[in-house]
Structure 1
Amino acid sequence: MSLPKLFLHVQDPLLASDLLALKGVQQYELNVSYQEECWLQQLAISQCDVAIIEVSSADSDSLQGLVDHPLLSQTEFLFFSKGEPAPMLDQLIQKGAGFHYRAPFNVKSVESSLNEVFNELSVPQQYDNPQASYLDQFGLLVGSSSAMHSLYRTIRKVANTNTNAFIIGESGTGKELIANTLHVVSHRADGPFVAINCGALSPELIDSELFGHVKGAFTGAHKDHQGVFEQAEGGTLFLDEVTEMPFEYQVKLLRVLESGEYKPVGAQQVKKTNVRIVAATNRILSDAIRDDVFREDLYFRLAQFPIMSPPLREREGDACGLAQHFLAYRNAQDGQQKQLSASSLEKISQYSWPGNVRELKHAIERAYILADQTILPEHLITNALNDQAENSKTSGIPIGMRLDDIEKIAILKTLKNNDGNRTDTANQLGISIKTLYNKLDKYEYVQEL
């Protein structure tokens, strides 16, 4: 396992000497900055896990640049200063950047902090006990990779604030689990956690679902209904796939975020909201904004603190760990002792898992059913194999079939393969969710219950 990386930017030679003598520093792969160059730019290039920065009056631009920089959530900072008031540094520490040590420095405390972070980043992997899971857990999340520990630190930092968060990541990476973990480790943990899939909202009922309605507000409104803002009062509201909300309705959500007020359909009284908003999408946001699918001003309101959900292929070692984790819990549930063969673990580690954790979990579930006592590579059915099977089914499409008929087959088969999930279907087909809805309306498609 590679060593975590430590970035060192210290100008005082005595302080540098004291720090370099610490065993806590020696256990990292050390990257020393060039003093004449901007340390923020060097840190961004080095991609280090921990940064020791000695702050001087000349660092105001770098500190300012760090406020909204992705490094703030990806890196654990240890700042050193002579104690002179530095409002920008205070702001960074209040946002959870890390530690601020003021002279005279307590080197034992510094070493303790470095050891704590090192232990988080360096976790040995073992998979020899079918009854045990070896992955670290934080809230509802499991994973021992550096990418996941970076995510844990990010969640801890934002959890102590009321800041809105925007989770960005591929389908199947566990964005709702991230949102729920953010809720349970925050001061809103005693309040409700309410999740809603914005892509599944009927355009006719969006106002009612978000803001509620009173009895008699429209045909079929036989009683009062609480919208998700009211249901989540005092807690967290998770807006999943928020970029799939119809464009013309996004302005209504924006108004609530700006004013903190909303009015149920048919009501005369305005209500105040007290919720933290956590939104999520698997889209590339720049494309969604460019294509007028998502409002840029709404993005800036929601993304006060962006959180990246890492794909499984970037979580070194976690694929095998998660496979063992899912298997251990299934073994415990059924009183079994099934285990993964070495060749199965090799297959798991080498596969790219385009469907991320969701695909891996489904693969382990299927393999558990197929295997007797040992899960072999042939028991691990992945989406790649499913795609090959689907290709064999469609390879016999007659020459001369109308293009719109071929398109219909592709859409309906992809929708069925995704268990009716329209957002995933649209993404796989490379079309917008609006286009998919229009196509399904044309086919008079009715989803099976």
Structure 2
Amino acid sequence: MPTPTLFMHVHDPLLASNLLSLEGVRQFQLNVSHQQESWLDQLSYAQCDVALIEVNDSHDVALEALINSRTLHQTEFLFFSKGKPDTVLDNLMRKGAGFHYRAPFDFTLVESSLMAIFDERNQTQAPACQQTSYLDQFGLLVGSSPSMHALYRTIRKVAGTQANAFIMGESGTGKELIANTLHVFSQRAEGPFVAINCGAFSSELIDSELFGHVKGAFTGAHKDHKGVFEQAEGGTLFLDEVTEMPYEQQVKLLRVLESGEYKPVGAQSVKKANVRILAATNRIPDDVIRNGTFREDLYFRLAQFPIIAPRLRDRDGDACGLAQHFLAYQNSKDAQHKSFSEQSLKKIRDYHWPGNVRELKHAIQRAYILADTSIGPEHLIIDDLQQQKKHRATSGIPIGMRLEDIEKIAILKTLQNNHGNKTDTALQLGISIKTLYNKLDKFENARVSVA
């Protein structure tokens, strides 16, 4: 396996000496630039894994050119500057270029970043047909595509801060894994990680789940109960599907975020929250704010740093790699040696995976059960999933049933199929989440068979 390569373009002799003394630099095969030539031209030709670039106060044409260069996504950059802020450099950071260190430089942090990059780049690269897990891993996340490495860089930067992060992405993209990885790399890693699905509780119960209650606070409150804010004390609280939270509870959450204080249901005294808040949604924030189901002020409080979870179809090459990863796990668990045929890998590679990583994982689990030794395309039950959904939605309706009852059946069956996820249910039914809540309230006590 070739040694990862490092390109260094540094003018200051003292900075160069300090960098060359780092163990992290010595791990790489070093390429030093010719100072009189464009560092971007040299780097484009050398195609190194990592680049250490000192940025001068004077305008650097190469920085502007880098924004639209393929090298931006092929190389991990560590920029060093001593002067005033640079707009072009800030734009590069927003595009996921890497790290920007400002003087005075903390070489311990530089060393840590270099070693992390070296570990990522030093993974074994396997051909598409290899029957083992070969993708890069970062925390609880797995993937070697440029979009995933950009996500890793973002997580490394955000994890060390106390900023609330809002993770957005389609269902099945691994938003909770992103949140958990942020926790693992944060200063709160020794504390608890507590996750709650905000769409899984009624408006009557969510106050108790969030803030806890004291004994006797309401019928059935036979003992004190700690809410998730208290359970996550000193750690991280993950609010999954936060846009599904009942509107009247959102203002209470906003108050906690603003003051840091909350009161358990039925309690007389307030408590102080010591948690970092991470939230997630599979909705488009502008849509739920515009239709009046999510507070705009709450969004801005939660989204101090927005993070986008990449869709599987945008993760070049990761689908086959993840399939190998899931298969390798099953093989190890059951002491088996099952493998993919070339035709099955092609089917995995060509499919668009609307359910993202979750759909892929379930497809591999089904194929593993069906296959004896070699998993062929016939074992991958994926192409007809959408057709099955349509069939389930239209089958089993007796002739002459009232339209009102048909509507109830459609809503309750879809909600059941989505494991209670109201966002996915509303999207599939073609109605707003607010309309769905209104309809559920309307026939909450109705006894309609959905068998």
Pick the TM interval, shorter chain. 0.7 to 0.9
Offset of 1:150 from its aligned partner?
1.2
- Residues 169 and 309 in structure 2, CA contact (< 8 A), matched pair in contact too: yes
- The reply to whether residue 124 of structure 1 matches residue 125 of structure 2 is yes
The whole-number CA distance in structure 2 between the counterparts of 1:323 and 1:439 is: 40
1:10-409 pair list within 5 angstroms:
15=35, 17=37, 19=39, 26-27=46-47, 48-49=72-73, 50=76, 60-62=86-88, 66=90, 71-72=93-94, 74-77=96-99, 116=117, 120=121, 124-130=125-131, 132-382=132-382, 384-392=383-391, 394=394, 404=404, 407-409=407-409
Q: What amino acid is aligned across from residue 195 of structure 1 in structure 2?
A: A
- The percent of aligned pairs where both chains have the same amino acid is 64
The whole-number CA distance in structure 1 between the counterparts of 2:415 and 2:79 is: 51
The whole-number CA distance in structure 1 between the counterparts of 2:277 and 2:430 is: 28
- Residues 341 and 375 in structure 1, CA contact (< 8 A), matched pair in contact too: yes
Q: What amino acid is aligned across from residue 127 of structure 2 in structure 1?
A: Q
3-state SS of paired residue (2:344): helix
- Normalized against structure 1, the TM-score is what? 0.78
Please list the CA deviations of residues 109-165 of structure 1 after superposition, one character each: whole Å capped at 9, or x if unmatched. Answer: 9xx9699479649973434443x2111111111111111111111111111111111
3-state SS of paired residue (1:200): coil
Distance 1:57 1:234, change over 3 A: closer
Please list the CA deviations of residues 349-388 of structure 1 after superposition, one character each: whole Å capped at 9, or x if unmatched. Answer: 1111000000000101111111111111111112x40222
- Residues 192 and 235 in structure 1, CA contact (< 8 A), matched pair in contact too: yes
The whole-number CA distance in structure 1 between the counterparts of 2:282 and 2:163 is: 21
Q: What amino acid is aligned across from residue 330 of structure 1 in structure 2?
A: Q
- Normalized against structure 2, the TM-score is what? 0.78
Q: Please name the residue that 2:433 is paired with.
A: 433
Offset of 1:269 from its aligned partner?
1.6
Q: What amino acid is aligned across from residue 125 of structure 2 in structure 1?
A: P
Please list the CA deviations of residues 171-194 of structure 1 after superposition, one character each: whole Å capped at 9, or x if unmatched. Answer: 000101111111112121111110
Distance 1:219 1:41, change over 3 A: farther
Distance 1:295 1:124, change over 3 A: same
- Residues 24 and 115 in structure 1, CA contact (< 8 A), matched pair in contact too: no
Distance 1:375 1:210, change over 3 A: same
3-state SS of paired residue (2:199): helix
Offset of 1:434 from its aligned partner?
3.2
User: After the TM superposition, which of the residue ranges 170-179 and 299-308 deviates more from structure 2?
Assistant: 299-308
Work out the number of aligned pairs and report it: 416
Distance 1:447 1:199, change over 3 A: farther
Distance 1:372 1:380, change over 3 A: same
The whole-number CA distance in structure 2 between the counterparts of 1:437 and 1:387 is: 25
- Residues 126 and 134 in structure 1, CA contact (< 8 A), matched pair in contact too: no
Offset of 1:419 from its aligned partner?
3.6
- Residues 164 and 277 in structure 1, CA contact (< 8 A), matched pair in contact too: yes
User: After the TM superposition, which of the residue ranges 399-408 and 311-320 deviates more from structure 2?
Assistant: 399-408
Distance 1:40 1:213, change over 3 A: farther
3-state SS of paired residue (2:337): coil
The whole-number CA distance in structure 1 between the counterparts of 2:371 and 2:315 is: 27
The whole-number CA distance in structure 2 between the counterparts of 1:44 and 1:357 is: 30
Distance 1:37 1:403, change over 3 A: farther
Offset of 1:74 from its aligned partner?
2.1
CA RMSD of aligned residues (A): 4.2
The whole-number CA distance in structure 1 between the counterparts of 2:183 and 2:116 is: 28
Q: What amino acid is aligned across from residue 97 of structure 2 in structure 1?
A: T
Structure 2: runs of 5+ lacking an equivalent: 1-5, 13-32, 51-57
- Residues 420 and 447 in structure 1, CA contact (< 8 A), matched pair in contact too: no
Structure 1: runs of 5+ lacking an equivalent: 1-5, 100-108
Q: What amino acid is aligned across from residue 162 of structure 1 in structure 2?
A: Q
Please list the CA deviations of residues 25-54 of structure 1 after superposition, one character each: whole Å capped at 9, or x if unmatched. Answer: 721599xxxx98999887665573356768
